Amino acid sequence: MGRVMVRVMLVLLLGWFWFQTQAGAQERIKLDYSSVDASNAAWYTAQEMGFFKKNGLDSELIFIPSTTTAVSSIIAGDIPIGNASGGGVASAVVGGANLVMVACMLNTLPYELVVQESIKTAEDLRGKNIGISRIGSASDVAARVLIKGLGLEPVKDVPILQVGGAPERAGAFRGGRIAGFPSPPGIIQLAQGMPHRVLISTADFQKRFEFPYICATTTKSFLSSRRETVRRVIMGLIEATHFFKTRKEESKRILAKYNRQNNPAYLESAYVAVAKLYDRVPLVTREGMEIQIKEALARKPGATLRVEELVDDSIVRELEKSGFIDKIYK
């Protein structure tokens, strides 16, 4: 009996040791995503489908509903790697932040300008308020681009108000505080009881608007000291991007879960609009980054900044050269 107990204890001890070893193999890390809409799907698909875990990461994915807030969290070290757009990163780096963009899954801005139903032309919009989340956010960039696309000047012709996230913007729109707001594709399908129209969309532009939108961002010091960790995050995002682009129905179910609703029209339009825009090789658009640097420098006279100072997508290039991406898309 004593020998049996010893064997049982030995098996349990070995099992415990194996479990601890396996758990220890997973590196813990906090990551963030900034919106539940389809544009951020690479982040929460990687979490939901276990692609971060597959690449050795015990990840905690945190929702931070603003690029500017996310950037602050990355700078502070609360989030080692997270999602941020080019406008927010450029503004932060011009201000002295030590940030670097390492991969961009989405290098354009799929936004629509949703306005009150009574607004039918650009002239109808003149003098009326447009709501965004925060200055420097993706919604701010989208608002300015769309307003210019109508032949109007942001702020001068169309005032821009900081209102908050999507729920706050919808509330301000319903209450009449704002006449419109920039919105990711598909959201209009959810605007029940709110008379509205899409006045203009970036999809209407003759040339794709280059903008580093959904981008993995970290600090230069973290990239230098934890390069392998950054590599694992990017690998998980690349696998998630492939899954989203090629597994429509499963991806729509993930969208439904993170959006907490099952509106078929929204899920279909959001998926179709974004899936085709996700990049197979997530390099950072240089053209788009130049535009955002120019905008950031205009707000700080005398400052200088080059693309090379805030973009390092060398890991993506290494993964492409190694055949990692080709293997996934076979």
> Residue 117 is part of which domain span?
112-204
Same domain, 149 and 274: no
- Tell me, yes or no, whether 16 lies in a domain: no
- Tell me, yes or no, whether 35 lies in a domain: yes
Same domain, 222 and 78: yes
50-105 confidence digits (pLDDT tens): 999 999 999 999 999 888 889 999 999 999 999 999 989 999 999 999 999 999 99
- Tell me, yes or no, whether 19 lies in a domain: no
| R_g over Cα of the chain | 22
pTM of the predicted protein model: 0.82
The C-alpha atoms of residue 180 and residue 172 are separated, in whole angstroms, by 9
At residue 9, the pLDDT reads: 53
- Tell me, yes or no, whether 102 lies in a domain: yes
- Tell me, yes or no, whether 288 lies in a domain: yes
Same domain, 149 and 193: yes
Same domain, 239 and 294: yes
Same domain, 222 and 297: yes
- Sequence letter at residue 104: C
Same domain, 173 and 266: no
User: Which residues share a beta bridge with 325?
Assistant: none
How does residue 220 score in pLDDT terms, banded at 50, 70 and 90? very high
Say if strands 81-84 and 112-116 run parallel, antiparallel, or are unpaired: unpaired
- Tell me, yes or no, whether 94 lies in a domain: yes
Same domain, 103 and 215: yes
At residue 8, the pLDDT reads: 45
Mean pLDDT of 276-294: 95
How does residue 187 score in pLDDT terms, banded at 50, 70 and 90? low
Mean pLDDT of 144-155: 95
17 has pLDDT over 50: no
At residue 123, the pLDDT reads: 97
Same domain, 235 and 95: yes
Same domain, 215 and 75: yes
- Tell me, yes or no, whether 97 lies in a domain: yes
> Number of structural domains, the chain?
2
Give SS3 for 324.
helix
Same domain, 311 and 219: yes
Helix orientation angle between 227-246 and 41-48, rounded to the nearest 10 degrees: 100
Tokens 């919105």 correspond to what residue?
Answer: 183
Same domain, 223 and 257: yes
96-140 confidence digits (pLDDT tens): 999 999 999 999 988 899 999 999 999 999 999 999 988 878 889
User: Which residues share a beta bridge with 214?
Assistant: 106
Domain boundary (204, 239, 267) is at 204
How does residue 228 score in pLDDT terms, banded at 50, 70 and 90? very high
Domain boundary (204, 223, 251) is at 204
Domain boundary (157, 176, 204) is at 204
24-47 confidence digits (pLDDT tens): 578 999 999 988 889 999 999 999
The C-alpha atoms of residue 153 and residue 233 are separated, in whole angstroms, by 39
For residue 171, give the CATH number of its domain.
3.40.190.10
- Tell me, yes or no, whether 4 lies in a domain: no
Same domain, 217 and 190: no
